[in-house]
Structure 1
Amino acid sequence: MLVTVVNSLVIGANPPAPLSVSSISPANGSTGFIGGPITITFNKNPNGTSGSAIYVNGVTTTNAYSSESNATILSTAYLAPNTTYTFKVNKVALASLQTDGETTATCGTAMTDVSGVCQSTFTTAYLKIYSVGPAAGSTNVVGTDGTTGWNVVPNITFGTTKVLTAGQYTCSSSYYNGTSWVTDSTPGAFTNTSNAIYSLPSMIFHKSYDESHLTTYTCSVPKSIGLSTCDAGTTDTGTLCQWTFTTAP
């Protein structure tokens, strides 16, 4: 291509491309979102974003986010189960963030332009277990015997929000004390983070007596809280989602 410079004006050079939405996750119209980062990727770095430019609405307030290269990753705030959310990007506000001389922005093909606002929708899944810790079926879990000192404090994370009441998430242990088997079914109260992550910081760690006398922890949540399936390696007993793990000697 012939490029001629006349009084600092470049003639024949390709103009900068408008800022455009390349992709969005969850995708527009998707269903069954079980949690995780909400991301929007642009064709170039928008050089920052503002709260009026990118947001998710529904039953939650505006989410915080951070910019990483050409992608903007919104906070992994936990969303309500089986709920439709609208993801919006203010096209005019985004256009003003460009520093390469371009002053327009487009929604691309990933989102729909609704009166100058790029929009897409997604629907969250029904309540699911996202993870449990220690993982279901774990062996040689370590900690400090007879104390609350766990390397991994017993916990459960749901993909969407769920408010539990006392006793709905519980663990108990069966350990050998040298002469007999003992059951410890007093996990203590759970802690709650974002109505999605529940931990048992007061649960006592009991190491296994030896390889022939392994301490087994059994944890569970009732399916009646809204669980139709038992995920993350947990077992469906009919009424409970249940999992076990054993500790190291």
Structure 2
Amino acid sequence: MNSSVDTAADHESLSRLVKQNAELEKTNKRQKEFVSLVSHDFKSALTSIVGFSDLIRGTECSPEEIKEFATDIYNGAQKITHLITDMLELERLESGQLELALAYINLNTLIEETIVQERLTIPHGIHLRLDNQLPFLNGDGDQLTRMVTNLLNKASKYTPDGGAMVVGSERVNDFFHLSIRDQGIDILANRRDEVFAQYTRVASDTPQPPCGTGLELSIVQKIIEMHGGNVWIESYLRGRPIFHVMLPFPSTLPARAGLLDSPI
């Protein structure tokens, strides 16, 4: 009898070890791919910065050319800053070093303000369908802003020229439901769960290459989990992706009046 129990326990332990080993191998593979991608991005940005700096230093340039080269240098520096910021932010979230500065947040207002702040980097039209009757959330304003920013930028990167995004909010039971829908490319159905994995850039079923650091959506997921919520992605009309976020309401807060339906 004991022999049978021991055998079953050994089999369970072995299966658990095999599964853990497979997960470690998958993570290690993603890390190697990520290092390769980020190294390429760093090298590309630094090459641009050095190249255009040399042109300014060693060539007689017109004011228009100097302005153009300075813009390219700035863009390269911003790319490097974005890479470093994402890596440091995810490390803070993963290590437990980050404590949420909780306060009552009107997430609809935060969404509107974030969109205004990101207008220079998002060239697409954004249509708002926000239900302003929703109660406040108890959350960290800075982290929720980062969450919204990352989702908007990710959706924008895959939206074609002339396309638009729809950002909506509604109440679903005791949760604030945020949705971000775009007219971009589809993510392969069997890889949608991977978009939130660290070090992952998931390609679509179109020739368009993946973009971003591969950490943006991992950061989104961690922030939402720290707020007791959930995030996922699905496809709707003709395979276009839509992000869903569910965040819990606190139990005793007044509703907000009004319905906002406007383009920005």
TM over 0.5: no
Q: TM-score, normalised by structure 2?
A: 0.25
Structure with bigger helix share is 2
More relative contact order, 1 or 2 (CA 8 Å, 6+ apart): 2
Structure richer in strand, relative to its length: 1
